[in-house]
A and B are shown apart, each in its own frame.
Chain A
């Protein structure tokens, strides 16, 4: 095990040396003096990154696992970029020592080549993180892969977004702009598979984890054919100060919510979606509204219990800075499952099916203090009809430009079959320390 730390340390040292040599910007990061004058010409290759140590501990005993710590990671991030006038190449590498799985992971978070092909066309190809939409931690039309394991174990919000291998074309026209993302292979969410977080299994009728199941959830992913590639589209423009967007997606459910009867394993089912959003200023704050229709292509009448039904989702939100540096945000979210009667009629576990209309109210409070070096924030998801909730509290202190401490907790409450309640035993408090360079 100690060997791995040697490797990590070696990589870290090499990276620092590289960065120091390759990037004058880095070498003088802390210099407050005159070096700025000489720093005008950007280096050919910029190297930045951070080293982070993070860990979280369960606050509630979890009978399904012997692990008291859902998170324990040492991460070295190298962010290598080269920017030319009409093209760019960027690489984000993560070297992670995961104390929970006892693995050393090398992951590429981003590796893209981008080109400004014409004044109206940008192309980016490679592994990239993508987002769009207006919801705050609620994703309707943003069907790019997410990492919910990170989200609930106390990692930085950055890791909620998982990268996908894709080609993104962005067209800019006077009347509207368009983004087309083509992901040749299906990239699912990093769903909760029981390794770090326990969850409720309807078939077992209780919370399970990889330890209780013997292995982590394994879902069958669609074949890597051209037919099964994912396409994301967005048309958008700004009208006055309001942003209007239309979205489209053809692909699969991002979670293994379907069931492969032949293999007896969860799998992903076809899903197409279309939606729209509008966001703008209202009464000194930001108001947004977004809606989406999920078309379950293979179960349009909701009769197949192994394939999720079509859904209509909508969210309205409002965010306003009510006192200086103190922002409050509220969202109301509703998710309507179509053909609900048919769903219940065919469901093997009708008692544990979610309500026909799942509702969520979210609230966010962000309070910047000490000249924006201390951030106190709280985010709560509350479902009034299912009675479950999720609370995210965090205190983030920027000790200096380089060093950041974050202390926080993720708390989940509710009946064990509810969306957040099933994660109750995973409630945790976390601490992160990051040194950026």
Chain B
């Protein structure tokens, strides 16, 4: 027996069980919903390990860059704009308030009230004074502030508008996800100001964050509104509330089951997955409308609900199966795009489609059977009167039209396709998250006004990185002496040295970093006698390498300056700021403010001197936004007036061409960072990914059609409506000049999946009808009764039903509304007009010999073949969906063991070794403080394995000179030694318990060196957009004082953010928090942590400074020698 009969028969025979069972399953799934987590960051469009995304974060950390929102202040009613005492006072007050907000990087807030004015203080002296220490008393003072600010290239156009009438505040945020909240708080303050100043808030972070928030609001409004209209339209067509409720129930059940599954499987709701309900609703409704339409038409004749529904299902099961399969294939193909959220979206829409199909073929028949006859009789009466209403008559007349005017129809189609193809070639690929809001939205208004006045509120960063490539003579000079000395002592290392050089040679250059690591390897493998020589060699090489403060050289700065000049000339960039601008400004002021000295000093020493001068300003750290302290990396901050990807791409192109024409200094490479740039990267991936998945699913749908119709001609016919629809829609997009953006890209799969549906229904039915009637004209006439009515009803219900989306303030929702309406109307029109018109001249060939084909095949029956084929398809598709789901899952949410492992690596094994200065401030319950200050060196013997630590105390005086050496064993007890300088005693410490106080602080030894992963069982209890929450329960509860501990791990950095320890009574008695994080040499590092004793009071704050990784500490530093004679060079060198 066929699957179809099983399903349908079962539903008809046990209707109550099916209805109640379905509802119960969905309700059970819905219990998963509370685990919902949300991530609206467009950055997540890129996989977490995408190189561009990683680089962006690296650059952000390297240069202490933060996502910023921009507050602009404009005054149109005053000739001097905001440069009057009252307005500046407001800016002053606003700045101070903003600085006090939680989540704002206080020290990096850029405002006239927080930056320095740079002026000359006599020859060779430069003076730094607050630009606006107190609000100006008079308008003249306000104008003086404007003139001073305009004289500083770094802030002219950024904090002061080019026309000198508006001012801006740049608010750097700790986290993008705070931007909406902070923007709200700023708006609240602004609302309290009187006067004629107008304040605007914009910037990509606030646009993106606001979009995420509004998106969910829309999800709550648009989807129910669409549902209501769909319901009303169906009521209009079928006039029976009880019947029309069925598709609504299926829509609700499908959406809720799919979303529950998505949440339950641990996926976060992203911008794209939030649109799943909107997509699933029309798809879920569509099949039911076909059933209801056919049922209401047939019932008036058959008058037996069971018999009618069986007839209906016989007719519709096959086409519904195929429409569902094609739709699922269309969305499922998204699983192969390189965009993780698109994968999740595609896979779950496909799952939803499958769920909708199963419910349609079981729930709807069961539901219909449960209706009482009185209700159905009323339905029969109303539909019977419908049989000859205007709607049916219009359809029937169009059947004659298609046959008579088939040539005109074909001609019009050809013209439409030609125009569409022209349109397609005009498609502009472009996106800009700010444009996801409608034009009148306050963010768009702010965006327009501020970019009109200022150099641009969109940021991109051009990051230069110089790989210190010392020239080979220098390298040899530094090492030759050491080798010669060694030779005199009978140690011959020349062969090894040459081999190391050979290994480090790339092309005809020696890469000094490679050479150092090669020499390091030799050091590790060397014999005792050679060991010191290799050590000297490594030290000498490092010295040579560190001599290369490249971005302090005139050559490097001049290159940057020239590139900026080129960018300025291109008019693509509102403004660019770099280290060169700072150097030039300070240099000018050093030379008595003379504008002709607005140049880069000619020597490295000169540059270094200007920078030293700059360091005495109130914001010395601003320098590190433009160059790294080692002067190996520098960047140009570009301000763009538009966040359009096209614009950004043009800038990128311009820079690429410039670099082609003016090669980068040797050893230097160039990369992009910044949100504006990241949007370009993910969009490119999206466009190509979507195009590939579209082509792929087009091919899959075609193969399905071949299987369904077992006829090349019918398969090609089936593909026509969807091809024409896609061509038409994208043609229109190209012609009206709408950008091909994220929502448009996603919708291509919807177009493909939905627009083939009508063709399947139509062709499947017309074949059956032809077989029955053996008469083409008669068949067409029949087709334009129930089948055509079902198609048109469907088209109207869905296209009109989703019109509410058009009034949403979010553009992607408008786009979905437009697409749904167009898909439905165009594909219905193409199916009902083009297909008959095309089949008419081909009818002889198409229906040649009306013999059922199964008579020609003797060995396999038709029914058996179909079952086999359907089963194969189901298995294949099932496998593909599962594979894709697994693929998507593995990309978005790593396994818990991986999280723990990586978190452990990040927190305790960054780099191969490292050094940090640490200060612990221990505050006891009475508020008394004690200090432990020390330098800590660490070397990993194996990643995730054994480590050596050595700690040299410098404070308090009583423990000064105390050295603490730990050989941490990942498995087994650590070895610990303490050197007490007063006693000259190396004491070995009994290390019975790792959970005792580290040097009297609230940190435990285990907090310092890490707790063994194997000692606990781990459970991922929650995934938030930013963090994983993991509950850890000790395997041996007797060995520890806690019952369990919970760790919050940052999903981006993998750093533990918070740890809480719970005792047996369930009380949190101990907490460790990460208070500050910096990325140091690419390693996210907690630089400030607090351990609190919640039971007895008191806490310890640990601050880490001078952190450096991979400094190449030799193993012999971690020995008794170090305990007695700490090698100061390792402890001091920075």
Q: Chain A interface (Cβ within 8 Å of chain B)?
A: 25-26, 29, 32, 36-37, 40, 42, 48-50, 79, 83-86, 88, 114, 116, 118-120, 122, 124, 128-132, 134, 156-158, 160-161, 170, 172-175, 177, 236, 238, 241, 243, 279, 281, 284-286, 288, 319-322, 324-325, 327, 329, 368, 370-373, 398, 400-402, 404, 434, 436-437
A284 near B973 with CB under 8 A, answer yes
CA–CA, A153 to B150, complex, Å?
A: 76
Is B751 an interface residue, CB under 8 A from the partner? no
Known A-B contacts A88-B1128, A122-B1121, A281-B991; the reply to A371 vs B924 at CB < 8 A is yes
Most buried by B among A128, A175, A325, A329: A325
B983 near A122 with CB under 8 A, answer no
Q: Chain B interface (Cβ within 8 Å of chain A)?
A: 527-528, 531-532, 535-536, 917, 919, 921-922, 924, 928-931, 933, 954-958, 960, 967, 969, 973, 975, 982-986, 988-993, 995-997, 999-1002, 1041, 1098, 1103, 1105-1106, 1116, 1119-1121, 1124-1125, 1127-1129, 1132, 1134
Known A-B contacts A32-B931, A84-B1128, A85-B1128; the reply to A401 vs B956 at CB < 8 A is yes
B990 near A321 with CB under 8 A, answer yes
CA–CA, A120 to B1121, complex, Å?
A: 10
The residue in chain B whose Cβ has the minimal distance to the Cβ of A128 is B984
B984 near A286 with CB under 8 A, answer no
Q: Which of A124, A236, A401, A437 contacts B1120 (CB 8 A)?
A: A236
CA–CA, A243 to B1121, complex, Å?
A: 13
B989 near A286 with CB under 8 A, answer yes
List 22 A-B residue pairs with CB atoms under 8 Å apart, sorted by A's residue number: A49-B957, A79-B960, A83-B1128, A119-B531, A119-B535, A119-B536, A158-B982, A161-B985, A172-B1116, A172-B1119, A173-B528, A174-B527, A281-B975, A284-B973, A284-B992, A288-B988, A319-B990, A321-B992, A371-B1002, A372-B999, A373-B924, A434-B958
Set of chain A residues within 8 Å of B929, measured between Cβ atoms: 32
Set of chain A residues within 8 Å of B973, measured between Cβ atoms: 281, 284
B955 near A42 with CB under 8 A, answer no
Known contacts A116-B1125, A372-B999; 8 additional CB pairs below 8 A are: A25-B954, A32-B929, A83-B1132, A119-B535, A170-B1125, A172-B1121, A284-B973, A372-B1000
Set of chain A residues within 8 Å of B536, measured between Cβ atoms: 119
Set of chain A residues within 8 Å of B1001, measured between Cβ atoms: 371
Known A-B contacts A119-B536, A157-B983, A373-B1000; the reply to A401 vs B992 at CB < 8 A is no
Set of chain A residues within 8 Å of B1127, measured between Cβ atoms: 116
B990 near A327 with CB under 8 A, answer yes
A129 near B919 with CB under 8 A, answer no
Known A-B contacts A170-B1125, A371-B924; the reply to A436 vs B957 at CB < 8 A is yes
A36 near B1103 with CB under 8 A, answer yes
The residue in chain A whose Cβ has the minimal distance to the Cβ of B954 is A25
Set of chain B residues within 8 Å of A157, measured between Cβ atoms: 983
Known A-B contacts A241-B975, A279-B988, A371-B1098; the reply to A400 vs B996 at CB < 8 A is no
Set of chain A residues within 8 Å of B1106, measured between Cβ atoms: 40
A177 near B1120 with CB under 8 A, answer yes
Q: How far is the CB of B978 from chain A (nearest CB, A)?
A: 12
Q: Which of A50, A124, A243, A279 contacts B957 (CB 8 A)?
A: A50
CA–CA, A437 to B955, complex, Å?
A: 10
Most buried by A among B954, B957, B960, B996: B957
CA–CA, A402 to B991, complex, Å?
A: 28
Set of chain B residues within 8 Å of A371, measured between Cβ atoms: 922, 924, 997, 1000-1002, 1098
CA–CA, A23 to B643, complex, Å?
A: 53
The residue in chain B whose Cβ has the minimal distance to the Cβ of A118 is B532
A401 near B931 with CB under 8 A, answer yes
A32 near B921 with CB under 8 A, answer yes
A320 near B992 with CB under 8 A, answer yes
CA–CA, A423 to B762, complex, Å?
A: 115
CA–CA, A400 to B531, complex, Å?
A: 45
CA–CA, A49 to B981, complex, Å?
A: 13
Q: Which of B928, B955, B999 contacts A400 (CB 8 A)?
A: B928
Set of chain A residues within 8 Å of B1129, measured between Cβ atoms: 85-86
CA–CA, A26 to B957, complex, Å?
A: 8
Set of chain A residues within 8 Å of B928, measured between Cβ atoms: 400
Q: How far is the CB of A379 from chain B (nearest CB, A)?
A: 14
Known A-B contacts A36-B1105, A174-B528; the reply to A29 vs B990 at CB < 8 A is no
A401 near B930 with CB under 8 A, answer yes
Known A-B contacts A120-B532, A371-B1000, A372-B1000; the reply to A400 vs B958 at CB < 8 A is no
Kindly list the 6 A-B residue pairs having the minimum CB-CB distance in the complex, ordered from nearest: A372-B1000, A119-B532, A321-B992, A401-B956, A174-B528, A158-B982
Set of chain B residues within 8 Å of A170, measured between Cβ atoms: 1121, 1124-1125
CA–CA, A88 to B1124, complex, Å?
A: 13
Known A-B contacts A32-B921, A36-B919, A238-B1119; the reply to A404 vs B958 at CB < 8 A is yes
Set of chain A residues within 8 Å of B997, measured between Cβ atoms: 325, 368, 371-372
B921 near A42 with CB under 8 A, answer no
The residue in chain B whose Cβ has the minimal distance to the Cβ of A319 is B990
Known A-B contacts A25-B955, A119-B535, A286-B990; the reply to A321 vs B996 at CB < 8 A is yes
B983 near A131 with CB under 8 A, answer yes
Q: How far is the CB of A335 from chain B (nearest CB, A)?
A: 22
B988 near A401 with CB under 8 A, answer no
Set of chain B residues within 8 Å of A370, measured between Cβ atoms: 924
